[in-house]
Chains A and B, each alone.
Chain A
């Protein structure tokens, strides 16, 4: 076999291996983007989803001792109950956008393994209410913190 042919064969082997690795990688770690309505329409238990929506005000429950977090995610047309084990991220909150990674369970809720809170690019002026909130927090902490 001359050198050129060896190179071509080598190239084909590498390209083949690479294609296989990419194919296997994609099939194993593909995550499907869905909205609550799309998930509700055809939920497949065990499949990896990335679910995006808004946290419904009043639905958020957080148990610090057991690290149980539960809330409802909505896209305006459908809602999905969500459970998660762990502290909610900084930007997470009621009325805010969130993207969750996880899967649908047979028990009828979405089990989130990762919560990504959406940072709004919109500038919000510091309004009085939140200022007062901070002051109050500061005061309680000063008074009883130590």
Chain B
């Protein structure tokens, strides 16, 4: 019953989306407003139907409706309430519903915001959105139907993948998908700009905040993913260059490039073709990411299900790219008459270099991710490149990018004079060199660590220089300190939001550097009462206990941690789920600003007399999460509407 209802609604939504897309396109061509209005109604209908599908599936999860196969495979009677809701998007079919729902939501917001005021571009953007939405609904009906009947109805379901029973899993996919789908809107407007031939600045201005919103969610998704990996997976890391992580990272890189190159076009009428291409590339990469993770072509720890869905995505990706590139070729002549670069030492060229490096980073990630496919196709041997490749190639790129982060916002437009350079960069450069020297004096002998210190301090100093200068200017006109600073942040929120994001990146860079350079780990087996030592900490094994939970039971170890005085007890565990073939490790940790204690129970003797543990002291990792919070706050500041006028 539920299955049939859901399937029926999906089909109607698909029909409506196709109709709406065609109607919007026809309305745009003929200029008949009735058609566009009809398309809007269709979009509203799609939104209502997809929302109902989502609600229906959630209801099926909450009521243990095992007649729906998807419910039966992703929940069981023991699954706690909370995870029955998140279980809705715990696997492929549900995540496609979530994706479609977000697309439908964005389509509605697009209608509300741009229906008036963007006459020429809006109908085509709406048509593009509905076309893409139709594709996802098609996937929902043919390749990954969430509403499939299960007969006979089982007495109990299989249960959610235990690794997904974590709070990070509510927010991580939601944020990530809001980011992925968010880039559809700038893409839709770019397509509208190409179709109408209005490749000027209108589409950029219209989508500016959309892009920041998408970027904000994508960043948030990546950060939460890192946190989940760190505190759930039990290997003590937050980023593994796994294909699935890379799939989300590539559009982030090109999206970041786009956020910056937009400013060049707004200010100097340059890079029109480049901006359109970046949007197409970013949107294409979100589809490619889904293809990569869902097709099973590349082995990944995320190990999602395989099936026809990969082919569908690949076909759609090809269609999107061919259409987009065809439109670009068609409009080729209009891309002429661009502004010219006046000098290599200018803000334009700093931003240009930033873009080249970001796209280069995206390319290396792409290359490394698909390398096994390439090598097999070309040489017939399967060769993969792992984390060392990505680190080795990307570290110089990222360090250069961080350096440019200091240069770009302060260097003069068009042509920077020697005086301009001196005024802005003398102090920051001096401080950067001093920071490297200080690091050396404190005993840091790694070139990379010293370089990172120098660069981050340099960039932080440029931000400080800019902020003090602007605050002083406000103090001179009679404002007092705090309102002056607050006013700056709020009135020039895009610029200062950007600076706050940069600060966040600096903090993350230090955290990444610290965790790579200074973390230590060891592995050992202890008898009850025995003690292991690492980096001045002592871990005493006190014993094992067994605890029964609603849908699993776990074996919990108790380890007293001390460094001269007792700091507390860490309780890592192993969880046994009846539906799983093997136990799952449950990490215990103690976070700190300087270092985290991180303890994994690897193995234990059944009589509780002995336990094998993996213990790590991870340095500065917390700064990655702190930097992440700063970064997202900065992005939020930049999203606020701009209020330039009043002083």
Nearest chain A residue, comparing its CB with the CB of B73: A123
Q: Tell me which residues across on chain B come within 8 A of A96, comparing CB atoms.
A: 581
Which chain B residues in 563-587 approach chain A with CB under 8 Å?
574, 576, 578-579, 581-585
Q: Does A77 contact B (CB under 8 A)?
A: no
Whether the Cβ atoms of A138 and B608 lie closer than 8 Å is no
CA A8 – CA B353 in complex, angstroms? 12
Known: A3-B344, A65-B525. A137 touches B602 (CB 8 A): no
CA A118 – CA B372 in complex, angstroms? 18
Q: Tell me which residues across on chain A come within 8 A of B612, comparing CB atoms.
A: 64, 67, 87
Q: Does B63 contact A (CB under 8 A)?
A: no
CA A7 – CA B583 in complex, angstroms? 57
Whether the Cβ atoms of B393 and A145 lie closer than 8 Å is no
Whether the Cβ atoms of B523 and A140 lie closer than 8 Å is no
Q: Tell me which residues across on chain A come within 8 A of B368, comparing CB atoms.
A: 25
Known: A31-B383, A33-B372, A64-B603. A134 touches B525 (CB 8 A): no
Q: Tell me which residues across on chain B come within 8 A of A30, comparing CB atoms.
A: 383-385
Known: A90-B582, A121-B305. A50 touches B546 (CB 8 A): no
Within the complex, which residue of A87, A119, A130, A140 is in contact with B578, where a contact is CB–CB below 8 Å? A130
Give chain A nearest CB distance to B243 CB in angstroms: 13
Q: Tell me which residues across on chain A come within 8 A of B344, comparing CB atoms.
A: 3, 6-7, 10
Give chain A nearest CB distance to B544 CB in angstroms: 5
Whether the Cβ atoms of A33 and B383 lie closer than 8 Å is yes
Q: Does A109 contact B (CB under 8 A)?
A: no
Whether the Cβ atoms of B385 and A31 lie closer than 8 Å is yes
CA A18 – CA B400 in complex, angstroms? 13
Which chain A residues in 89-146 approach chain B with CB under 8 Å?
90-93, 96, 99, 101, 116-117, 119-121, 123-126, 130-131, 134, 137-138, 140-142, 144-146
Give chain A nearest CB distance to B378 CB in angstroms: 12
Whether the Cβ atoms of A145 and B553 lie closer than 8 Å is no
Q: Tell me which residues across on chain A come within 8 A of B353, comparing CB atoms.
A: 10
Q: Choose the segment among B4-12, B28-36, B335-343 that binds chain A (4+ C-beta atoms closer than 8 Å).
A: B335-343
Nearest chain A residue, comparing its CB with the CB of B363: A18
Whether the Cβ atoms of A29 and B385 lie closer than 8 Å is yes
CA A54 – CA B368 in complex, angstroms? 27
Nearest chain A residue, comparing its CB with the CB of B296: A121
CA A9 – CA B622 in complex, angstroms? 42
Give the most central of A99, A124, A131: most B CB within 10 Å: A124
Whether the Cβ atoms of B607 and A144 lie closer than 8 Å is yes
Nearest chain B residue, comparing its CB with the CB of A3: B341
Q: Does B470 contact A (CB under 8 A)?
A: no
The majority secondary structure among interface residues of chain B is mixed
Interface flags, B355-391, vs A, CB<8A=1, else 0: 0110010011001100110000000011111101100
Q: Does B447 contact A (CB under 8 A)?
A: no
In this complex, how many residues of chain A approach chain B with their Cβ under 8 Å: the count is: 54
Give chain A nearest CB distance to B105 CB in angstroms: 31
Whether the Cβ atoms of B608 and A145 lie closer than 8 Å is yes
CA A21 – CA B364 in complex, angstroms? 9
Q: Tell me which residues across on chain A come within 8 A of B363, comparing CB atoms.
A: 18
Q: Does B524 contact A (CB under 8 A)?
A: yes
Give chain A nearest CB distance to B543 CB in angstroms: 6
Whether the Cβ atoms of B383 and A32 lie closer than 8 Å is yes
Q: Does A41 contact B (CB under 8 A)?
A: no
Give chain B nearest CB distance to A125 CB in angstroms: 8
Whether the Cβ atoms of A134 and B343 lie closer than 8 Å is no
Q: Does B196 contact A (CB under 8 A)?
A: no
Within the complex, which residue of B341, B544, B555, B603 is in contact with A62, where a contact is CB–CB below 8 Å? B603
Nearest chain A residue, comparing its CB with the CB of B574: A90
Q: How large is the interface on B (under 10, 10 to 19, 20 to 34, 35 or more residues)?
A: 35 or more
Whether the Cβ atoms of A141 and B544 lie closer than 8 Å is yes
Whether the Cβ atoms of A145 and B525 lie closer than 8 Å is no
CA A117 – CA B548 in complex, angstroms? 26
Interface flags, A1-24, vs B, CB<8A=1, else 0: 001101100110010001001101
Q: Tell me which residues across on chain B come within 8 A of A29, comparing CB atoms.
A: 385-386, 388-389, 392
Whether the Cβ atoms of A25 and B389 lie closer than 8 Å is yes
Nearest chain B residue, comparing its CB with the CB of A118: B303
Within the complex, which residue of A26, A92, A93, A146 is in contact with B371, where a contact is CB–CB below 8 Å? A26
Interface flags, A23-61, vs B, CB<8A=1, else 0: 011101111110000000000000000100000000000
Known: A29-B385, A29-B392, A31-B385. A124 touches B579 (CB 8 A): yes
Q: Tell me which residues across on chain B come within 8 A of A62, comparing CB atoms.
A: 603
Known: A32-B381, A119-B303. A67 touches B158 (CB 8 A): no
CA A116 – CA B363 in complex, angstroms? 27
Q: Does A86 contact B (CB under 8 A)?
A: yes
Q: Does A88 contact B (CB under 8 A)?
A: yes
Nearest chain B residue, comparing its CB with the CB of A6: B344
Q: Does B1 contact A (CB under 8 A)?
A: no
Whether the Cβ atoms of B605 and A64 lie closer than 8 Å is yes
Q: Tell me which residues across on chain B come within 8 A of A86, comparing CB atoms.
A: 523, 614
Q: Does B610 contact A (CB under 8 A)?
A: yes
Whether the Cβ atoms of A141 and B606 lie closer than 8 Å is yes
Known: A30-B385, A31-B386. A134 touches B578 (CB 8 A): yes
CA A18 – CA B576 in complex, angstroms? 47
Which chain B residues in 261-316 approach chain A with CB under 8 Å?
299, 301, 303, 305
CA A66 – CA B356 in complex, angstroms? 51
Nearest chain A residue, comparing its CB with the CB of B610: A64
Interface flags, B485-525, vs A, CB<8A=1, else 0: 00000000000000000000000000000000000000111
Q: Tell me which residues across on chain B come within 8 A of A140, comparing CB atoms.
A: 606-608
Q: Does B483 contact A (CB under 8 A)?
A: no
Q: Tell me which residues across on chain A come within 8 A of B367, comparing CB atoms.
A: 22
Within the complex, which residue of B299, B396, B523, B553 is in contact with A138, where a contact is CB–CB below 8 Å? B553
Give chain B nearest CB distance to A132 CB in angstroms: 11
CA A125 – CA B579 in complex, angstroms? 6
Q: Tell me which residues across on chain A come within 8 A of B356, comparing CB atoms.
A: 11, 14
Q: Tell me which residues across on chain B come within 8 A of A33, comparing CB atoms.
A: 372, 381-384
CA A141 – CA B548 in complex, angstroms? 12
Known: A25-B393, A121-B305, A141-B544. A88 touches B555 (CB 8 A): no
18 contacts between A and B (CB under 8 A): A18-B363, A21-B364, A21-B396, A25-B392, A26-B389, A29-B389, A29-B392, A30-B383, A31-B384, A32-B382, A33-B383, A87-B612, A119-B303, A123-B73, A125-B579, A142-B546, A144-B609, A146-B608
Taking A62-B603, A99-B299 as given, write out 10 further A-B residue pairs in contact, using a Cβ cutoff of 8 Å, ordered by the A residue number: A7-B341, A31-B386, A32-B383, A87-B602, A116-B301, A137-B546, A138-B553, A140-B607, A146-B545, A146-B608
Which chain A residues have a beta carbon within 8 Å of chain B's beta carbons? 3-4, 6-7, 10-11, 14, 18, 21-22, 24-26, 28-33, 50, 62, 64-65, 67, 86-88, 90-93, 96, 99, 101, 116-117, 119-121, 123-126, 130-131, 134, 137-138, 140-142, 144-146
Closest 8 CB pairs of A and B: A87-B602, A33-B382, A141-B546, A126-B578, A29-B388, A145-B608, A64-B525, A29-B389
